[in-house]
Structure 1
């Protein structure tokens, strides 16, 4: 395991409790909390700095640093809203891509080097238009300019991006909950845990059958989700098999799995829970660049990778590689209906405000 991955695991282990190393870092966390509070106060005192879109804006984010499952929620929400008659568009930071000064938009199969691996994955699965830039309002404006048919915006990440006005917030956490409850660097939180009191939905991403953390102190609607494999796609041929079919044909032999996501062990655990025996697992850092193939030393058996990694691994032309598409199972499927109803009301209100606004 490489040094950055070892350091990351050690940090996450330390953040599970209020031990000595965490306590020694508390003064830095107090400084971070003060900086967070000052930033929020600046936007509260200068509301003109916040960009408010005339369309409903939903932010999917987290307060726990690293991967908690935001992208599957973003994908599921976009697909559900489209099925309900919306035309969703998605904005994202475009982590890992060299965006430049101007926002970049696209739709369908996008180059992860130009858009980032997560935006490329979201665009491929949802077929929704997407725009990327670290400045989310800039991305949003580009999206609306290039895709005027969009009538609802989903921001993949950006809970802490206060320059972007939002009408609904969905926070995603995993089994770690809020960890030791402390803000970086003494703990894993980007913001104090009290931030969860102001979100609309709190979704806890759990391995199938695992119990979650203690319910958060928030009026938000709380539910859990579990990711399950639904399809496997061979990268070289594009052959798609439903998971049960793939398992019947290839699952009788031990397989390998490679993941470069925030929590690789979640991917491996999901595959085992779905009936697969794994002989080798390789955990890579999140957003790994795949400058060279990490698959050469693995045995000549199926190698399963995440859909997020697949967008960067097609070029290796390795017949052993299969991408696993997953789908979330929600403990409360009605949350989508509630979100849809809320967004309809928000859209009507914004339309009425725009119609009665003074014109130049």
Structure 2
């Protein structure tokens, strides 16, 4: 596992020259935008950037879904921008629709669209995705899922999500460590949200709470503890988080299987994971990629963000004020 390599392998020290090159380029790019050597593009609507400092799954997409839902509940028209990592569309930008597949858009845009029904624009160049959203719809605010290091797009609010258990690993840039940017970058962001673990002073605490298990084929819902002979699989940034959730909920899988984040699944490969009488249980992010060929014994476990308290309300208040000021 890559995190084990970063924390224990002496081989990582041989990669320090690459680490310094990565860090140097990263800093130079950011400084070039700050000093105006490179131009940033500012959208006519507020931009909220949800990102992280490390690679891997920190919980950005569930937080984006939560933010969209909260803003929609207050009557705001929300757009979402995603790079569409893992997607292989014929052209960019494009808007996610009812018939868009994960193969075209990647798994996260499909998940966001299905959960929020917000307009979701996909493009590796975020500016193009924003422009496509504005061309196709009227929105009050746009949230970007990832893109903290995409400095070409100006943003009004920056939210960084931290894995509360892994945090920043050994603290070094890639490839010696997990960092896209160093921890000092946190001094310039609007909010720091810690997913799991213990939130430090100045950080907002976030939890991912599981709901009822959902049958991918039929839509039936039931408590996850009622599923029998569970084989658990996860193709997310941190599969162990999903497996830990199952154990916390009282589920003891017969086996757990980890896949790479954004992996593209095929029917033949997944049908071999279970035998007769067994249940295949996966994350909702995995489920969006297998809906069109799901078997009757395939289920997923959705999660909801729990983010409350005065700090969370203050963050939402800041967003509402920003939208009001630009209307």
TM-score band, normalised by shorter chain: over 0.9
5+ residue gaps, structure 1, are 1-8, 352-360
Aligned 8 A contact 2:84 2:106 in 1? yes
**Which region of structure 1 is more displaced relative to structure 2, 161-170 or 340-349?**
340-349
Q: Does 1:262 align with 2:237?
A: yes
Match of 1:6 in 2: none
Match of 1:147 in 2: 137
- The Cα of 1:73 is off from its aligned counterpart by 0.6
2:216 aligned residue (235, 247, 254): 235
- The Cα of 1:99 is off from its aligned counterpart by 3.1
Match of 1:169 in 2: 158
- The Cα of 1:341 is off from its aligned counterpart by 1.6
Aligned 8 A contact 2:32 2:38 in 1? no
Please state whether the residue corresponding to 1:212 is helix, strand or coil: coil
1:276 aligned residue (251, 262, 265): 251
**Which region of structure 1 is more displaced relative to structure 2, 265-274 or 41-50?**
41-50
Q: 1:286 to 1:192 in 2, by over 3 A?
A: same
1:307 aligned residue (265, 284, 293): 284
- The Cα of 1:38 is off from its aligned counterpart by 1.4
- The Cα of 1:110 is off from its aligned counterpart by 3.5
CA distance in 1, matches of 2:10, 2:272: 41
Q: 1:325 to 1:59 in 2, by over 3 A?
A: same
Match of 1:212 in 2: 198
2:299 aligned residue (319, 322, 334): 322
- The Cα of 1:106 is off from its aligned counterpart by 2.8
Q: Does 1:223 align with 2:199?
A: no
- The Cα of 1:281 is off from its aligned counterpart by 1.1
Aligned 8 A contact 2:204 2:312 in 1? no
Q: 1:90 to 1:349 in 2, by over 3 A?
A: same
CA distance in 2, matches of 1:66, 1:297: 24
Match of 1:4 in 2: none
Superposed, 1:1-360 pairs within 5 Å as: 9=1, 11-16=2-7, 20-46=10-36, 49-108=39-98, 110-148=100-138, 150-174=139-163, 175-206=165-196, 211-212=197-198, 215=200, 221-241=202-222, 243=223, 246-247=224-225, 250-251=226-227, 253-291=228-266, 292-299=268-275, 300-330=277-307, 332-351=308-327
TM-score, length-scaled by structure 2 = 0.92
Match of 1:3 in 2: none
After superposition, what is the alpha-carbon deviation per residue over 1:268-325, rounded to whole angstroms, capped at 9, x for unaligned?
1101101212111111111110034323242322221111111111233311101111
Aligned 8 A contact 1:80 1:336 in 2? no
Please state whether the residue corresponding to 2:209 is helix, strand or coil: strand
- The Cα of 1:91 is off from its aligned counterpart by 0.4
Q: CA RMSD in A?
A: 2.0
Please state whether the residue corresponding to 2:212 is helix, strand or coil: strand
- The Cα of 1:108 is off from its aligned counterpart by 4.9
Please state whether the residue corresponding to 2:79 is helix, strand or coil: strand
Please state whether the residue corresponding to 1:28 is helix, strand or coil: helix
Aligned 8 A contact 1:109 1:124 in 2? no
5+ residue gaps, structure 2, are none
Please state whether the residue corresponding to 1:265 is helix, strand or coil: helix
- The Cα of 1:164 is off from its aligned counterpart by 0.8
- The Cα of 1:37 is off from its aligned counterpart by 1.6
- The Cα of 1:48 is off from its aligned counterpart by 6.7
Please state whether the residue corresponding to 1:281 is helix, strand or coil: strand
CA distance in 2, matches of 1:143, 1:82: 16
TM-score, length-scaled by structure 1 = 0.84
Q: 1:314 to 1:347 in 2, by over 3 A?
A: closer
CA distance in 1, matches of 2:110, 2:187: 32
Match of 1:358 in 2: none
